[in-house]
Amino acid sequence: MTYEVLQIEPGPRPTWPVWQMTVRYDRDGRTATHCAGWSADRDRIRTGGNR
């Protein structure tokens, strides 16, 4: 499942190492907001047109 990150904000609790992310899914265009921790092994930042 791929998605575009629309917004990243610090999570709702300062003691948690999380980000609150709003995303738009490529498949159906729906948006969702969720909290997630960052994993350097799993997560990557891609910018521009290099999907």
When pLDDT is averaged across residues 20-36 and rounded to a whole number, the result is: 90
When pLDDT is averaged across residues 5-20 and rounded to a whole number, the result is: 78
State the number of CA atoms in the 13 A half-sphere of 2 facing the CB.
6
The pTM of the full predicted model, rounded to 2 decimals, is 0.59
Higher pLDDT, residue 6 or 40: 6
Give Cα separations from 32 to 1, 41, 43 (angstroms): 13, 23, 18
Would you place residue 41 in the very low, low, confident or very high pLDDT band (cuts 50, 70, 90)?
confident
When pLDDT is averaged across residues 2-7 and rounded to a whole number, the result is: 88
- Distance, CA of 34 to CA of 47 (rounded, Å): 21
Higher pLDDT, residue 27 or 9: 27
